[in-house]
């Protein structure tokens, strides 16, 4: 890249976009750009990165299948704290996404600048395929969850205990090492404790679990050390309902791959199920959904997937991450009051239902 990555809609020029697309779509040339919409941190579901919807006009020689409307992900202002997330997501879309046949956005260009810690990621506008984007305020059925589990099983099976994590995929980070893990174990606990101290509902939810921020952090770290010794694969890493989408034919897809890591599959499966379903529906259906996922894992090529009992034990342990990192770290401004509270309520209730605190304490 020869152009500095912008931090907002100003600076999104045809020259910048042409440079961003150059390696992914050779010959592409952007002649004009119109900003259809733009959101920065704290605006309507914008969390760790800004987004702009762009209408593009191309020059001669641009491939015919490049869409006119695209989404550009931008850094969150001049804040460098999110740099590991930005670097990670660009690496996923540039180095892993091309070899996957799953439902995830198509990428038209991406770059991370380590000197400025800024990035740009040009993705398809999924609304053009009729995608809808669910959240916890909407009724979600087990059928919908199964559709996303199909996508997860496909990813997990492809990289199940892959020797490539020691060769060409050795750059993929894990839960216990790398820039993402350092952020989660360094900056995130400070932010989380501020949330606990200053948001009454978060403080009382933690009190309801008869624990503290530091105890939850120690539990997350213990579970991740433990699960790193078990069969691992490529994870999406942040599979809450708000990072999914649904196509008109019922296919479920995954957005926002910033937390992609090499880790234990129950991390993804638990976070999806416990944030997607109402408390009652989760209690009724989670065992069946876990069994469905294990069947899909086998169908996708894992010859000897874990037994149900093994997976169930790890599923219950994995809850501690969702409670602590997943939503205690998320300010209300990011998603609004109702979405924030409902995610917390679902996760902490599951934490109690599964005696996760007692189970985790045995590992600490």
130-361: what CATH class? alpha beta
Residue 263 forms beta bridges with which residues? 233
Q: Which residue has the tokens 């506008």?
A: 125
Measured in whole angstroms, the distance separating CA 314 from the mean position of its chain's CA atoms is 20
pLDDT recorded at residue 10: 83
Q: Which residue has the tokens 């600490």?
A: 364
Is residue 347 within 8 Å of 327, Cβ to Cβ?
yes
How many other CB atoms are there within 10 angstroms of residue 232's CB atom? 22
Is residue 256 within 8 Å of 238, Cβ to Cβ?
yes
The tens-digit pLDDT sequence of the chain (364 residues) is 545 898 888 889 999 999 999 999 999 999 999 999 887 665 555 567 888 999 999 999 899 889 999 999 998 766 678 899 999 999 999 999 999 999 999 999 999 999 999 999 999 999 999 999 999 999 999 999 999 999 999 999 999 999 999 999 999 999 999 999 999 998 899 999 999 999 999 999 999 999 999 999 999 999 999 999 999 999 999 999 999 999 999 999 999 999 999 999 999 999 999 999 999 999 999 999 999 999 999 999 999 999 999 999 999 999 999 999 999 998 888 888 999 999 999 999 999 999 999 999 999 9
Is residue 258 within 8 Å of 86, Cβ to Cβ?
yes
User: Cα–Cα–Cα angle for 289, 290, 296, nearest 5°?
Assistant: 90
Structure tokens at 37: 């919409």
Residue 109 backbone phi and psi in degrees, to 5: 165, 145
Q: Provide the CB-side half-sphere exposure for 103 (13 A, CA).
A: 22
CA atoms of 17 and 15, how far apart (whole Å): 6
DSSP state for residue 323 in the 8-state scheme: I
| Cα separation of the two ends of the chain | 45
CA atoms of 184 and 329, how far apart (whole Å): 10
3-state secondary structure 31-62: EEEEEEEEECCCCCCCCCCEEEEEEEEECCCC
Please count the helices (runs of H) and the strands (runs of E) in the chain: 13, 9
14-125: what CATH class? alpha beta
Q: Which residues of 251-262 are buried (b: 16+ CB within 10 A; e: fewer)?
A: bbbbbbbbbbbb
Residue 30 forms beta bridges with which residues? 58
DSSP state for residue 50 in the 8-state scheme: E
User: Domain coordinates of the chain in residue numbers?
Assistant: 14-125, 130-361
Residue 235 backbone phi and psi in degrees, to 5: -110, 150
Coil, helix or strand for 217?
A: helix
Handedness of CA 51, 271, 258, 42 (dihedral sign): positive
Structure tokens at 228: 């790193």
CA atoms of 315 and 270, how far apart (whole Å): 6
Name 256's Cβ contacts closer than 8 Å, sequence gap at least 6.
Answer: 89, 238, 243
Is residue 112 within 8 Å of 285, Cβ to Cβ?
no
Give the orientation angle of helix 200-208 with respect to helix 187-198, to 10 degrees.
100
CA atoms of 143 and 159, how far apart (whole Å): 25
pLDDT recorded at residue 48: 75
Q: Which residue has the tokens 């993929």?
A: 172
User: Cα–Cα–Cα angle for 224, 227, 232, nearest 5°?
Assistant: 115
Whole-prediction pTM value? 0.95
pLDDT recorded at residue 234: 98
Q: Provide the CB-side half-sphere exposure for 136 (13 A, CA).
A: 29
How many other CB atoms are there within 10 angstroms of residue 202's CB atom? 23
């Amino acid at each position: 890249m020869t152009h500095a990555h912008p931090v907002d809609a100003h600076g999104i020029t045809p020259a910048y976009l042409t440079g961003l697309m150059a390696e992914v779509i050779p010959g592409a040339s952007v002649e004009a750009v119109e900003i259809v919409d733009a959101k920065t941190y704290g605006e309507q579901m914008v969390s760790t990165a800004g987004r702009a919807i762009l209408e593009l006009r191309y020059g001669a020689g641009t491939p015919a299948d490049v869409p006119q409307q695209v989404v550009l992900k931008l850094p969150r202002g001049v804040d460098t704290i999110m740099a590991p997330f930005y670097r990670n997501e660009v690496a996923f879309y540039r180095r892993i996404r091309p070899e996957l046949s799953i439902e995830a956005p198509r990428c038209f260009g991406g770059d991370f600048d380590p000197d400025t810690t800024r990035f740009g990621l040009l993705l398809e506008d999924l609304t053009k395929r009729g995608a809808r984007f669910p959240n916890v305020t909407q009724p979600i059925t087990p059928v919908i969850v199964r559709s996303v589990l199909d996508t997860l099983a496909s990813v997990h099976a492809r990289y199940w205990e892959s020797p490539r994590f020691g060769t060409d995929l050795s750059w993929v980070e894990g839960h216990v090492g790398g820039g993402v893990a350092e952020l989660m174990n360094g900056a995130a606990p400070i932010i989380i404790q501020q949330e606990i101290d200053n948001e009454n509902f978060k403080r009382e939810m933690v009190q309801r679990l008869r624990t503290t921020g530091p105890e939850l952090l120690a539990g997350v770290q213990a579970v991740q050390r433990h699960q790193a010794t078990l069969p691992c694969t490529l994870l999406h890493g942040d599979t809450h309902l708000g990072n999914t989408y649904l196509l008109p034919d019922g296919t479920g897809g995954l957005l926002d791959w910033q937390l992609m890591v090499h880790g234990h599959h129950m991390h993804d499966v638990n976070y999806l199920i416990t944030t997607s379903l109402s408390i009652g529906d989760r209690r009724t259906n989670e065992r069946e959904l876990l069994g469905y996922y294990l069947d899909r894992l086998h169908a996708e090529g894992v010859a000897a997937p874990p037994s149900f009992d093994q997976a169930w034990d790890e599923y219950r342990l994995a809850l501690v991450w969702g409670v602590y990192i997943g939503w205690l770290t998320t300010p209300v401004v990011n998603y609004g009051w109702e979405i924030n509270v409902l995610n917390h309520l679902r996760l902490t209730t599951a934490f109690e239902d599964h005696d996760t605190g007692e189970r985790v304490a045995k590992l600490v």
